[in-house]
């Protein structure tokens, strides 16, 4: 009945541990070279499924492994063990200014950012007007974005990501940007995407946002899934 678009099966992921002793120590004492191979485990035994069109929440403390999960979904990280299957075009909502160049103007940055996120040049040309309109930056279209405020940059980034029709949208704690008017617009846009069957992964340590948008969620604690189920239950476990 439900279409699985993301499936994690017993996924484990580790990262290199950097406590480099420095080249001199290493050369004098070659056994230090082994420390270069040491890794720490970020997430372990992670198995879950996300269905098409649902908004799935991931909560947990800083460093619990939430961003690692997003990285695996985006395909920038490769699991050490287990399998990650993803079906559909993944678009991450980038952090402020990533994929932009501050010397270029808004129109040029829309092209750059959109193409990096997987859209074609033709599509981006067609969407430019709409993106500027939504971000409320029409008058600033030809200003270099280094003159933009943080809020303006956030609006532009959000506007690009949601306009290129993602199938899976990854949102990592970014909804709290822009002024309250734009925030309202963002939230409306997210509801609209939900209605049009876009799968959304919402990572947050803000329980309210998870509660508002997600039916299902999971709590990551100490590398593992502590609880997976109804968003309300998960948030209760997270808060308490």
User: Closest approach of Cβ 232 to other proteins, in Å?
Assistant: 30
Cβ nearer to other proteins, comparing 30 with 240: 30
Give me the residues that bind other proteins (CB under 8 A), please: 15-16, 23, 71, 74-78, 90, 92, 94-95, 97-99, 101, 103-104, 108, 111-112, 115-118, 120-121, 144
Coil, strand, or helix at residue 222? coil
User: Closest approach of Cβ 192 to other proteins, in Å?
Assistant: 23
Question: What is the rounded distance in angstroms from the CA atom of residue 240 to the CA atom of residue 145?
Answer: 43
Question: What is the rounded distance in angstroms from the CA atom of residue 80 to the CA atom of residue 175?
Answer: 31
User: Closest approach of Cβ 175 to other proteins, in Å?
Assistant: 16
Cβ nearer to other proteins, comparing 86 with 207: 86
Cβ nearer to other proteins, comparing 177 with 228: 177
Q: Give the DSSP per-residue string, 39-87.
A: EEEEEEEEEEEEETT-EEEEE--TTSSHHHHHHHHHTSS--SEEEEEE-
User: Closest approach of Cβ 177 to other proteins, in Å?
Assistant: 16
Cβ nearer to other proteins, comparing 45 with 108: 108
Question: What is the rounded distance in angstroms from the CA atom of residue 224 to the CA atom of residue 92?
Answer: 23
The single residue listed with the structure tokens 């290199």 is 16
């Amino acid at each position: 009945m439900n279409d699985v678009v993301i499936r994690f099966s017993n996924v484990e992921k580790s990262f290199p541990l950097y406590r480099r002793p420095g080249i001199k120590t290493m050369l004098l004492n070659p056994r230090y070279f082994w420390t270069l191979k040491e890794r720490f485990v970020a997430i372990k035994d992670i198995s879950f499924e996300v269905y098409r069109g649902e908004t799935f929440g991931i909560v947990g403390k800083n460093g619990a492994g939430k961003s690692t999960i997003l990285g695996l979904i985006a395909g920038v990280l490769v699991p050490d063990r287990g399998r990650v299957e993803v079906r559909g075009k993944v678009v991450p909502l980038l952090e402020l200014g990533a994929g932009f160049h501050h010397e270029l103007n808004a129109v040029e940055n829309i092209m750059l950012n959109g193409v990096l996120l997987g859209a074609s040049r033709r599509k981006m040309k067609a969407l430019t007007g709409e993106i500027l309109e939504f971000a409320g930056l029409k008058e600033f279209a030809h200003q270099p974005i280094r003159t933009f405020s943080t809020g303006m940059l956030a609006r532009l980034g959000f506007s690009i990501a949601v306009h290129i029709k993602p199938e899976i949208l990854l949102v990592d704690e970014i909804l709290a940007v822009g002024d309250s008017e734009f925030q309202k617009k963002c939230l409306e846009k997210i509801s609209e995407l939900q209605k049009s069957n876009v799968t959304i992964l919402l990572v947050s340590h803000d329980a309210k946002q998870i509660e508002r948008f997600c039916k299902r969620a999971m709590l990551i604690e100490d590398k593992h899934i502590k609880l997976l189920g109804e968003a309300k239950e998960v948030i209760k476990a997270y808060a308490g």
